Amino acid sequence: MTTFRHTMEDEKDGMELKQIGAITIDTKKTKIQNCVKTNLLTILTVSGVVCGGLVGYLLRQFREEKWTEREVMYVNFLGDLFLRMLKSLILPLIVSSLISAIAKLDISLSGKIAVRAIIYYFTTTVCAVIIGIILVITIKPGKMSSDDSHNQQNEGSGSRNVTTVDTLLDLVRNLFPPNLVQACTQQIRTVLIPSTNEKDINSWKIDYEYTDGTNILGLVMFSAVMGVTLAKLGEKGQYLIYFFETMSEAMMIITKWVICISPIGVMFLVASKVLEIDNPEELVGRLGMYFITVLGGIILHGFIIIPLIYLIMTRKNPIKYVGNMAQALATAFGTSSSSATLPISIKCLEENNNIDSRVARFVLPIGATINMDGTALYEAVAAIFIAQIRNIDLSLGHLVAISITATAASIGAAGIPQAGLVTMVMVLDTVGLPAEEVTLIIAVDWLLDRFRTVINVMGDAFGAGIVDHLSREELQISSNL
């Protein structure tokens, strides 16, 4: 406005106009420079994924014989360091950010935010499962593939004797860890001990054991309760709230440092994975249609349905929103772990998408734990694909049962030791398929895992955006108090 008035009032000689023109070109230039500068790391990380794939491919072509495990380990080394750094942030980050975010909200508002988030998680996960089922039933990837799979060796499935009920009860047990320090490294699981004269699994002896793996569900639960309690304590709770707030800020600063090496880390992670693939021909061969079905479902759900829900709820541009998350999405693809990506997702949400930090730090850790749209879609498709290969006709009741278990499995995955296999077995169990069938799809699982992780992270991010939009006014009122 001032420049405009200035030019109107002054005599408009050619010289001055030229100068103004030069200035606008100049600002445009700096704008582009700024844009590249601020997005440089993102651009580099996304290129890291592509370069990693290329490097891996070229190295494979480079020589006839297979790369040894040791050589793959060397290529993976820097990627592994990056992953370890990210993982070290998770525990302090989720505990401190959940506690401080919930403590800074008043109880009724955090309740409202939680309800909104949970409604979103549930709706989108059910949507994902339905899309998956529709696709796998129309494409019928299992009927197209030649059925030589019967001859496959059922090795390495490592199945153990569990019932779905036991798995679900373990989940609930893990919600309440008896020892918080132990919960940082171990979780409980039920073991059934076969008795010699009993074939019926229900009469076996029941035992429990602790297995390695962070009991994230228990820690999330405890942090949420702690946050609510500190909010209730009022004045007296302030010191601890400050403590956790500082901790959470500090973790975000360390995250920024780790992000600086993400392009290199992601590149080596992807390159080493491409190097170690056993039978790449499966991707275009027998499992090709299955792969395309899952990928199609993931793209349809993640790039059309969820953005559409976001657009309808917030009337904001979903494309820009996804673009702002690119760094997190590339890391999700590189690490195939939504928990390792969590620190970066929080940073992208707060800094690029301007999500209120109370919402981002409250909703995201919970989303990373229970909201896995990609996983739910994948498990439903996989179960039906296997049934198709085995020529088992599924009734509508079966399909409903698969939807329910796939949804439950994706919600509970973080609370189940060795989740990948166990949740898949749970879903297969509902259709009466044996656990060994999982071996059919293992060949392409490593790649599909990366794609579904991207969608898991994206679903969490859009959820935070929607919850933030719906809670904006209340958040403003609460911060003005």
Q: Which residues bind ligand 7O9 (CB under 6 A)?
A: 90, 94, 216, 336-339, 342, 365, 368-369, 372, 375, 413-414, 419-420, 449, 452-453, 456
Can you tell me whether residue 152 is helix, strand or coil? Answer: coil
E strands present in 292-432: none
Closest CB to ligand 7O9 among residues 45, 375:
375
Taking the least distance from each CB to ligand 7O9, the nearer of 310 and 451 is: 451
Q: Which residues pair with 208 in a beta bridge?
A: 190
- Could you give the angle at the alpha carbon of 128 between the alpha carbons of 296 and 376, nearest 5°? 100
Give the whole-angstrom CA distance, residue 426 versus residue 411: 13
CB crowding 376-415: b at 16 or more within 10 Å, else e: bbbbbbbbbbbbbbbeeebeeebbebbbebbbbbbbbbbb
Single out the residue of 328, 320, 272, 322 nearest to residue 453, CA to CA. 328
Question: Would you say 67 or 222 has its CB closer to ligand 7O9?
Answer: 222
Closest CA to 461 of 385, 368, 336, 333: 368
Q: Which is nearer to ligand 7O9, 363 or 368 (CB)?
A: 368
* Shortest distance, position 453 Cβ to ligand 7O9, whole Å: 4
With respect to ligand 7O9, which residue has the nearer C-beta, 339 or 430?
339
Least distance to ligand 7O9, CB of residue 302, Å: 12
Backbone dihedral region for residue 345 (phi beyond 0: left; psi -120 to 50: alpha; all else: beta): alpha
For ligand 7O9, give the closer residue by CB, 42 or 223. 223
- Nearer of residues 67 and 217 to ligand 7O9, judged by Cβ: 217
Range list of H helices, 10-106: 14-62, 69-104
CB of 338 to ligand 7O9, least distance (A): 3
* Min CB(3)–ligand 7O9 separation in Å: 48
Q: Residue written as tokens 């730090």?
A: 361
CB of 435 to ligand 7O9, least distance (A): 17
Q: Shortest gap between Cβ of 472 and ligand 7O9 (angstroms)?
A: 25
Least separation in angstroms between residue 357's CB and ligand 7O9 is 17
- Minimum Å gap between C-beta 88 and ligand 7O9 is 12
**Cross-strand bridge partners of residue 205:** 193
DSSP conformation class of 190:
E
Shortest CB 470 distance to ligand 7O9, Å: 22
Q: How far is the CB of 214 from ligand 7O9 (least distance, A)?
A: 6
Q: Which of 126, 176, 160 is nearest to 305 (CA)?
A: 126
Nearer to ligand 7O9, 67 or 82 (CB): 82
Q: How far apart are CA 432 and CA 391, in angstroms?
A: 13
Neighbours of 299 (CB within 10 A): 12
Nearer to ligand 7O9, 67 or 374 (CB): 374
Alpha carbon distances (Å) from 251 to 73, 89, 97, 341, 344: 29, 7, 9, 13, 11
Considering beta carbons, is residue 379 or 437 the nearer one to ligand 7O9?
379
Residues ≥6 apart with Cβ < 8 Å to 144? 289
Q: What are phi and psi of 153, to 5 degrees?
A: -80, 135
Separation CA 333–CA 336 (nearest Å): 5
